[in-house]
Chain A
């Protein structure tokens, strides 16, 4: 194990090297570029024995990954924002073909207006594509989650693609100390990709041929639904194994911070969770019993875990760095849906913060918690608007 100072993007590239990805297809987009530049370097120097396909678009990047995965290779790509949106059709194709493609997405705002800073609207817009989604809070997690993603995605009872998110610049270009595991440990954690079926020369095989209404289409969808459900249990197993092999804790779908005896908790994901830790410390110092529930896995959605949180805390504020137009903060909406039908549900307030990389400071979060405690409302509230209160 080596401890290095790495950016989030470098951490992801290191994980891809250690995972021995065999086919990489990628198109550059800010702020993802330093991931694929580093991978090009590693392939060029022979440190990573992979085919690197310099495609002409993100659409083709994902198409090449689906096809390479079907043909038996471990694949990787990375993207961000508009690139992820351009891939949208292929994201469905990936899960529909049951190909465990792993992708890093650097969360970035969606244009217009043009904006290259942190925002989860790009990946939240892919919620229904059948991808596992994880949101890293630190660069260490970006590395760890990438290895973890392969382990879960390639599990034969899952066989679904997985996306690892890191916030634009706040993680992608910010340097943090990262423990880089030994290759031998990663090999022990990640056996070579061995899909239950793959394209074989000389065989009569069809992948993805057409299915009329009465044949198999619905059954395929149901199988994907079950695989997503299975992913819950498989993730728990993979996390335990991660801790055994690497001697480092791996987060569950939800992670609690100073929630003991809390009267109020925030739910947040990505780098805002790190800011929320400071806010919680500040609130605790001032005598207000606040806590944080950090959401690491967004798909499959941790419904049961959210319900258990809702049973314990009467006041919950959900902070979204995304907005689903005409609906609200996606994390808040899904959290509210999860607690539907509870006998004594908590009050849940929704906060929209940090869109387009707008700075979210600990004092912003301290202020919203204080307002919640005084008695706010459950309608969504936009945090940090300029010239508006």
Chain B
């Protein structure tokens, strides 16, 4: 597959070098095309387009309060419906803090209502825009400026894709810009489906992850090759792995590239490896079990 030539992120944005979120937006809009509209809360992407009146984005963008992305996207969609514009992809585009923490209520509400929107979480695993503080999506073992005491997070990473899949929405997928074909294919699939769609992107942040910006694509690849960031999708309740590493890379190879994991004891590394392996086995079980799961908008379809 070749990537669509469409470019909807213009040069001149103000993202840091090697920003995974910048590349993710570029790939996402390649997949969705120009008929998209963005709702962006407080996050790196509230700054990346540039200060007013300029923008690097080729699609309309409305900024929202931190916790209100999914609610604002719902409002935009409703107004466009009244205007007879059912063809527009209304996209909430938020970081992991705005999704897993402060924004989860509005997101869950929109999912339960079956809003016809695409919600994208670009997960850099901390509050990067405010200076690297821990979020609900920070993985165990990672350093941030607010992982008090041990300097590493000791609790689990909130599993947002599974939480969203549990809402029974039509489409959930994990994405990684280091695998652009898989990424764009999922964005294109999301564009074809109606109802609530949730895309969860691993977006490397060289500043917060403490590695050279030139390594962004490489670190992202290692994340998936080591099964730390498995690529899968959940379509109508059916789980499917979209990339299965023939021989997974040991997790320490992924951790070693990043300064945020530099202080881990061998025991801590082993327990992270064990958790990754367990999660991977669970994912394989889910993907193997073909079962019908009722969709949130199934009743509406029956009534139609």
Interface residues of A (CB under 8 A from B): 22-23, 25, 50-51, 53-57, 59-61, 63-73, 75, 89-90, 93, 199-212, 215-216
B39 x A67 contact (CB < 8 A): yes
- One digit per residue, 1 when the CB lies within 8 angstroms of any chain A CB and 0 when it does not, for chain B 266-290 equals 0000000000000000000000000
Q: Which of A25, A207, A211, A216 has the most CB of B within 10 A?
A: A207
- Least Cβ–Cβ distance between B117 and chain A, in angstroms: 11
Q: Considering the complex, which residues of chain B in the window 233-258 have a beta carbon less than 8 Å from any beta carbon of chain A?
A: none
Q: Which of B35, B49, B73, B87 contacts A209 (CB 8 A)?
A: B49
Contacts A67-B73, A209-B46, A216-B52 given; indicate if A200 touches B106 (C-beta within 8 A): no
Chain B contacts of A54 at CB under 8 A? 113
Asked if B184 CB lies within 8 Å of chain A CBs, one says no
- Per the bound structure, the CA–CA distance linking A64 and B73 in Å amounts to 7
9 closest Cβ pairs, A-B complex: A56-B109, A67-B75, A71-B79, A60-B71, A64-B75, A63-B68, A73-B79, A63-B71, A51-B78
- Per the bound structure, the CA–CA distance linking A53 and B64 in Å amounts to 18
Chain A contacts of B108 at CB under 8 A? 56
A55 x B61 contact (CB < 8 A): no
Task: Please name the residue on chain B nearest to A99 by beta carbon.
Answer: B75
B63 x A208 contact (CB < 8 A): yes
Q: Considering the complex, which residues of chain B in the window 203-246 have a beta carbon less than 8 Å from any beta carbon of chain A?
A: none
- Least Cβ–Cβ distance between B143 and chain A, in angstroms: 28
Asked if B118 CB lies within 8 Å of chain A CBs, one says no
Asked if B21 CB lies within 8 Å of chain A CBs, one says no
B76 x A70 contact (CB < 8 A): yes
Q: Considering the complex, which residues of chain B in the window 44-97 have a beta carbon less than 8 Å from any beta carbon of chain A?
A: 46-47, 49-53, 55, 57-65, 67-68, 70-76, 78-83, 85, 87-88
B61 x A56 contact (CB < 8 A): no
Chain A contacts of B67 at CB under 8 A? 59
Asked if B34 CB lies within 8 Å of chain A CBs, one says yes
- Per the bound structure, the CA–CA distance linking A59 and B71 in Å amounts to 9
- Least Cβ–Cβ distance between A173 and chain B, in angstroms: 28
Q: Which of A23, A50, A215 has the most CB of B within 10 A?
A: A23
Q: Which of A23, A200, A211 contacts B52 (CB 8 A)?
A: A211
Chain A contacts of B64 at CB under 8 A? 63, 67, 93, 208
Interface residues of B (CB under 8 A from A): 34-35, 37, 39, 46-47, 49-53, 55, 57-65, 67-68, 70-76, 78-83, 85, 87-88, 105-106, 108-109, 112-113
B79 x A209 contact (CB < 8 A): no
- Per the bound structure, the CA–CA distance linking A326 and B70 in Å amounts to 38
- Per the bound structure, the CA–CA distance linking A215 and B54 in Å amounts to 12
Contacts A53-B75, A55-B109, A199-B37 given; indicate if A23 touches B51 (C-beta within 8 A): no
B75 x A210 contact (CB < 8 A): no
Q: Which of A50, A69, A93, A199 contacts B60 (CB 8 A)?
A: A199
Q: Which of A67, A73, A203 has the most CB of B within 10 A?
A: A67
Chain B contacts of A199 at CB under 8 A? 37, 60, 62, 76, 79
B51 x A211 contact (CB < 8 A): yes
Chain B contacts of A200 at CB under 8 A? 60
Contacts A23-B75, A71-B80, A209-B46 given; indicate if A60 touches B51 (C-beta within 8 A): no
A201 x B46 contact (CB < 8 A): no
Q: Which of B35, B51, B82 contacts A210 (CB 8 A)?
A: B51
Chain B contacts of A59 at CB under 8 A? 67-68, 71, 106
Chain A contacts of B74 at CB under 8 A? 25, 53, 55, 60, 64, 67
Q: Which of A22, A60, A75 contacts B106 (CB 8 A)?
A: A60
Contacts A59-B68, A199-B62 given; indicate if A23 touches B109 (C-beta within 8 A): no
Chain B contacts of A51 at CB under 8 A? 78-79, 81-82
Q: Which of B68, B79, B112 contacts A68 (CB 8 A)?
A: B79
Contacts A201-B35, A201-B88, A215-B51 given; indicate if A56 touches B79 (C-beta within 8 A): no
Task: Please name the residue on chain B nearest to A207 by beta carbon.
Answer: B62
B106 x A203 contact (CB < 8 A): no
- Least Cβ–Cβ distance between A213 and chain B, in angstroms: 11
- Least Cβ–Cβ distance between B43 and chain A, in angstroms: 12
B112 x A56 contact (CB < 8 A): yes
16 pairs, CB–CB < 8 Å, chain A vs chain B? A50-B82, A55-B113, A57-B105, A59-B68, A63-B72, A67-B71, A67-B74, A67-B79, A68-B76, A68-B79, A199-B60, A202-B35, A204-B57, A206-B55, A206-B57, A207-B60
Chain B contacts of A90 at CB under 8 A? 65, 68
- Per the bound structure, the CA–CA distance linking A54 and B74 in Å amounts to 10
- Least Cβ–Cβ distance between A57 and chain B, in angstroms: 6
- Least Cβ–Cβ distance between B36 and chain A, in angstroms: 8
- Least Cβ–Cβ distance between B225 and chain A, in angstroms: 37
A72 x B75 contact (CB < 8 A): no
A22 x B49 contact (CB < 8 A): no
Contacts A206-B49, A212-B51 given; indicate if A70 touches B65 (C-beta within 8 A): no
Chain A contacts of B81 at CB under 8 A? 51
Chain A contacts of B52 at CB under 8 A? 206, 209-211, 215-216
A68 x B58 contact (CB < 8 A): no
- Per the bound structure, the CA–CA distance linking A90 and B73 in Å amounts to 15
Task: Please name the residue on chain B nearest to A71 by beta carbon.
Answer: B79
- Per the bound structure, the CA–CA distance linking A145 and B63 in Å amounts to 31
- Least Cβ–Cβ distance between A292 and chain B, in angstroms: 41
B88 x A72 contact (CB < 8 A): no
Q: Which of B37, B47, B79 contacts A69 (CB 8 A)?
A: B79
Task: Please name the residue on chain A nearest to B81 by beta carbon.
Answer: A51
B49 x A68 contact (CB < 8 A): no
B106 x A57 contact (CB < 8 A): yes
- Per the bound structure, the CA–CA distance linking A72 and B85 in Å amounts to 12
- Least Cβ–Cβ distance between A259 and chain B, in angstroms: 45
Q: Which of A89, A90, A93, A201 has the most CB of B within 10 A?
A: A201
Task: Please name the residue on chain A nearest to B83 by beta carbon.
Answer: A72
Chain B contacts of A216 at CB under 8 A? 52
- Per the bound structure, the CA–CA distance linking A239 and B112 in Å amounts to 43
Q: Which of A23, A53, A201, A204 contacts B113 (CB 8 A)?
A: A53
